[in-house]
Structure 1
Amino acid sequence: MNYPKNEKTAIGEPDSVQNGYSVGEGEDILALQDTDPALNAKMFLVNNAIDEIGWTNYHWKLFVLNGFGYCVDSLLLLLQSIIAIPARYEFNPSYPHALTIAVYVGMLIGALFWGVSGDIIGRRFAFNVSLFLCSAFTIVAGAAPNWVSLAVFIALLGFGGGGNLILDTTVFIEYLPSKKQWVLTWLAAWWGLGQSIAGFLAWGYLTQARWNCPDPFDKNGALVGVCPYSSNKGWRYLMYTSGALVFFMSIARITIIRLKETPKFLLGEGKEEQLVQGFQDMAKKYGRTCSLTVEQLEACGVIRSAHGKSKLSLGELTIHFRGLFATKKMGFSTSLVWFSWTLIGLAYPLFYVFLGSYLASRGADFGSPSPSITWRNYALVNISSIPGPMLAGWMCNTKILGRKYTMVIGALCSMAFFFAYTQVRNESQNLGFSCAIAFFTDVYYGCLYAYTPEVLPSAHRATGNGVAVACNRVMGIISAIIATYANTDTAVPIYVCAALFLVMAIVSASFPFEPYGKRSS
């Protein structure tokens, strides 16, 4: 069997420099785990080819069009919370938190479905289809005739959106040259953009008296007025507009980028001629060189750890989960990553679930801001989250911090502002601290989003990523249940959230892999 070059190259000495990128520079993150020697050898050659071609306009297109997935994910999560109140005015439901549970259930099932299917049938199909499903069900949800049907459509659009974050990061990292892997963190800035779009659309549609009913409930929650369809179209217009925007994004994905299957998925499939041809086509289009050949890949042997004997079998499913725990170090890493997603999945929504009740119980004097001011502040808080991942991208690309300690700093700063939030007593303080929390939480969150696919093996990356996001969604469901039955008159929930961020910081520091200076496997 022919292994790449020599031992010095394999452990990190660069062979040459082409197009500003060192070919063969840096150790592949999982290369020393020895789970599949043929896969390690071929992955080294593929990473060399990606580095040799370097950053191109194709990567800029991927950054924007994959960013749409982040944008849509955050947009969908906020839409259900934004429309819940005006839709409740119209439908008078017996269970007001149904939309929150519906969207998280949909996203939970979607994360698992699209994650596993991304490793079995490929990234391309899920990448192209998921946004179409989101757009269709978002528009249909705007025409829902009752609360139950609205919850069903919300769950279905969540199912479509459930795979976006998984496939966006998976596709992007499998094309990124090693020097640019930190850009994956910047994708999370699109999350804040999606939240901001939701806020601005709500500001436009839900502040118009002709499209929105006054509150038909008294202080005790009894229905004392009526809110007919004809007087309450604001939330429906919001859904129609959002659905049209997502449809535009889905069309752009297909017409602008015309995504081919990722090289690292093709490697696991054994489609080496197709893989090399894709690299050659990209190199030719962007005026780069690519020295990778089919013969070099074939000389490394046969990959045996990427798939089972049949894709339509329990063994195929088993191999993708077992591959995430192939060694003790990989298993420990996977477990900590999933645990981190579980913690942030509980802490972030739990804070906002209890925030209003806590502030009211502590006598916070917010006055009576108009709907316009309320939605303006909402948009400002979400805009504040956009620079967080951008700062995280710079921080995680420094040797002293790397990915792990960027997350530690983001978590500790978030913890500090959560504790400080217990002292909020007026609207100005609320806006300022909310903006700070949004910023620092996304420093942590954005880096975690990027770190997760970096440390997962390519053949099982979508599955591992899908389970991580699914853990997050489970906690979202639990937060809605807590909001229904728990006592919200104490400061305990906010202190619990702050403590959870402390645990996140400890877990981040304990991660066994540091991707800085290494290449994704």
Structure 2
Amino acid sequence: MATDHHPREPSRYEKEAEMDPSGEMKSQTASDGSVHKGEDILAMQDLDPALNAKMHLVNNAIDEIGWTNYHWKLFMLNGFGYAVDSMITLIQSNIAAPAFKEFGSVGYANGQNIASYAGLLVGAIFWGFGADIIGRRWAFNLSLFICSAAAIVAGAAPSWASLGFFVALVGFGGGGNLVLDTTVFLEYLPGNKQWVLTLMACWWGLGQAVTGAICWGFLVGWRYVYFTAGALVLVLSLLRVTVVRLKETPKYQLTGGDDVGLVENLQSLAKKYNRPCSLTLEKLEACGKIQGTHSESRFSLAEFKIHVSGLFATKKIGLSTTLIWLSWTLIGLAYPLFYVFLSTYLKVRGVTGPTDPFYVWRNYTLANISGIFGPIVAGFLCNIKFLGRKYTMVIGALVTMAFFFGYTAVHTSDENTAFSCIIAFCVNIYYSCLYAYTPEVLPTAHRATGNGISVAFNRIMGIISAVIATVADTRTTVPIYITAALYAAMAVVAFCFPFEPYGRRSS
């Protein structure tokens, strides 16, 4: 949070950071030989000076250690979390029709869609806020386990209403898991490897492809789809505990005032992988005491206010937070809105898809696999100096907009398949970069809260799209033009983002 403070003399450890004639930090060489500037994203935002100084030392220590096998483990098992989020959303949409039919077609036909988004919404807020209170570790491990258990039970649901409850519970666990995947990974990443956060979204497309494979094999019995998916997620949740053995993230320890645990954590990591780490408790204590990151009671309204107000600590941080939330809202409406109207739109234009299940699921799988490569391209683009994160998102949004406009020329099933693959690829360039950019520019003490609220806005729009699907006229081309226009708006918002993380480290 922003605090009123008098000018102070820099600590001796801040003075040790040599400056070049331009006033920037001199380049430092990480253990892997790569060079980075060592500038923290929020260092000049007039935040708590003790927090700024300590954060700089922690970032230096993480850079000293560099990329290790531990980061590979996080990339894999946090990536599984991405895959799980896409799995639970798509599985619900694929089993809804056969489940509704089995239960006598009684009730609200789009109920499962709304239940899923409602669970994802509550989960994002609950686990996002909770991770800033109790820490990343417990939220990271518990959310995925809840998701797996609820998915298995959903397969045995005795009624349409009970299925909706467990679908919401699946979303509750999965929604929180998605918020923590990026947060936990980022808070262990060296500055010159933060671009990998964008690349990690390739797991999202992989999760969609796995969903297609599960549904292809078991859709004749929708309950088996949930049993299989739930068992898979259960295995992943156990791997998180047994393989990663996650300790609390060093940046959460910093904002929580646990300097002793922080130093032990990073020194232990450095020792395990034979890397240098010059951070000491004395260096941290010399920076002073951090203020304003928690209230006296962590389970209180005051704590909630601190984490929300911290996202608006300065005008620039407040603008950044607002634009991020706007971006999540726009894509939360645009992405599902298109698919809500697509089937009716194609029928009106006489575009009939294949009826053979083999070709139906082949086309579905092709589109999902295409989505895997969008984050790979985004990871490459966002690490180019003159593009960075902002302009990668601008490019992704504009290219997606162009192909949505082009969709109005689709007249055959093959053209529909081709455009579906291209759009899945292009939209993930934007989406993957937004997923990574959001935690990168949020303050560490309030990162999970800000990330959770961002995802929550996205889920609210998903609920609205499900309602629109029930009441709106889906026979015109207007929804496609609206969707394309929404992506144009996303490009404008991305262009206006006040922070560019390229070459800088999360604060």
Q: The TM-score by the shorter chain falls in which range?
A: over 0.9
For residues 16 and 136 of structure 1, do their structure 2 counterparts lie closer, same or farther at Cα, with a shift above 3 Å needed? Answer: closer
Tell me whether 1:94 sits opposite 2:107 in the alignment. Answer: yes
How many Å separate the matches in 2 of 1:53 and 1:331? 32
Aligned to 1:267: 254
Aligned to 2:19: 8
Aligned to 1:299: 286
Aligned to 2:175: 162
For 1:161-240, what aligned pairs fall within 5 Å after superposition? 161-206=174-219, 212=220, 234-240=221-227
Tell me whether 1:395 sits opposite 2:381 in the alignment. Answer: yes
Over aligned residue pairs, what C-alpha RMSD do you find? 1.2
CA contact (8 A) 1:73 1:161 kept: yes
How many Å separate the matches in 1 of 2:94 and 2:77? 25
- Aligned to 1:79, the other structure's residue is in SS state helix
How many Å separate the matches in 1 of 2:255 and 2:276? 24
Tell me whether 1:61 sits opposite 2:85 in the alignment. Answer: no
Aligned to 2:4: none
Deviation per CA, 1:467-510, whole angstroms, max 9, x where unpaired? 00000000000000000000101110111000000000000010
Equivalent position amino acid for 2:226 in 1: M
Equivalent position amino acid for 2:271 in 1: K
Decide which of 430, 438, 453 is 1:452's aligned counterpart. Answer: 438
How many Å separate the matches in 2 of 1:519 and 1:114? 24
Equivalent position amino acid for 1:447 in 2: C
Offset at 1:15?
Answer: 4.8
Offset at 1:12?
Answer: 2.2
For residues 430 and 280 of structure 1, do their structure 2 counterparts lie closer, same or farther at Cα, with a shift above 3 Å needed? Answer: same
For 1:92-491, what aligned pairs fall within 5 Å after superposition? 92-206=105-219, 212=220, 234-366=221-353, 368-491=354-477
CA contact (8 A) 1:412 1:501 kept: yes
Deviation per CA, 1:285-310, whole angstroms, max 9, x where unpaired? 10101000000000000000211122
For residues 365 and 109 of structure 1, do their structure 2 counterparts lie closer, same or farther at Cα, with a shift above 3 Å needed? Answer: closer
How many Å separate the matches in 1 of 2:33 and 2:106? 60
Aligned to 2:58: 46
How many Å separate the matches in 2 of 1:448 and 1:280? 32
How many Å separate the matches in 2 of 1:510 and 1:440? 21
CA contact (8 A) 2:85 2:204 kept: yes
CA contact (8 A) 2:395 2:491 kept: yes
CA contact (8 A) 2:378 2:429 kept: yes
Decide which of 34, 38, 41 is 2:46's aligned counterpart. Answer: 34
Deviation per CA, 1:304-352, whole angstroms, max 9, x where unpaired? 0211122122111111001000000000000000000000000000000
For residues 95 and 21 of structure 1, do their structure 2 counterparts lie closer, same or farther at Cα, with a shift above 3 Å needed? Answer: same
Offset at 1:369?
Answer: 2.3
Offset at 1:11?
Answer: 3.2
Deviation per CA, 1:403-454, whole angstroms, max 9, x where unpaired? 0000000001100111111111111001100000000000000000000000
Deviation per CA, 1:218-263, whole angstroms, max 9, x where unpaired? xxxxxxxxxxxxxxxx111111000000000001000000000000
Equivalent position amino acid for 2:267 in 1: Q
CA contact (8 A) 1:19 1:288 kept: no
Task: Name stretches of at least 5 consecutive residues in structure 1 with no aligned partner.
Answer: 207-211, 213-233
How many Å separate the matches in 2 of 1:436 and 1:487? 26
CA contact (8 A) 2:30 2:66 kept: no
Offset at 1:402?
Answer: 0.4
Deviation per CA, 1:109-136, whole angstroms, max 9, x where unpaired? 0000000010011000010011111111
How many Å separate the matches in 2 of 1:6 and 1:349? 48
Offset at 1:21?
Answer: 4.5
Decide which of 470, 490, 501 is 2:487's aligned counterpart. Answer: 501
CA contact (8 A) 1:66 1:172 kept: yes
Task: Name stretches of at least 5 consecutive residues in structure 2 with no aligned partner.
Answer: 1-10
Identical amino acids, percent of aligned pairs: 63
CA contact (8 A) 1:116 1:466 kept: yes
CA contact (8 A) 1:21 1:54 kept: no
Offset at 1:94?
Answer: 2.7
Equivalent position amino acid for 2:113 in 1: T
How many Å separate the matches in 1 of 2:200 and 2:45? 29
CA contact (8 A) 1:107 1:162 kept: yes
How many Å separate the matches in 2 of 1:19 and 1:371? 50
Tell me the TM-score normalized by structure 2: 0.96
CA contact (8 A) 2:38 2:60 kept: no
Equivalent position amino acid for 2:270 in 1: A
Offset at 1:203?
Answer: 1.1
- Aligned to 1:162, the other structure's residue is in SS state helix
Equivalent position amino acid for 1:518 in 2: R
Deviation per CA, 1:382-404, whole angstroms, max 9, x where unpaired? 00000100100000000011000
Between Structure 1 and Structure 2, how many residues are aligned?
Answer: 493
Tell me the TM-score normalized by structure 1: 0.93
For residues 381 and 274 of structure 1, do their structure 2 counterparts lie closer, same or farther at Cα, with a shift above 3 Å needed? Answer: same
- Aligned to 1:87, the other structure's residue is in SS state helix
How many Å separate the matches in 2 of 1:19 and 1:384? 32
For residues 21 and 49 of structure 1, do their structure 2 counterparts lie closer, same or farther at Cα, with a shift above 3 Å needed? Answer: farther
Equivalent position amino acid for 2:210 in 1: I
Aligned to 1:218: none
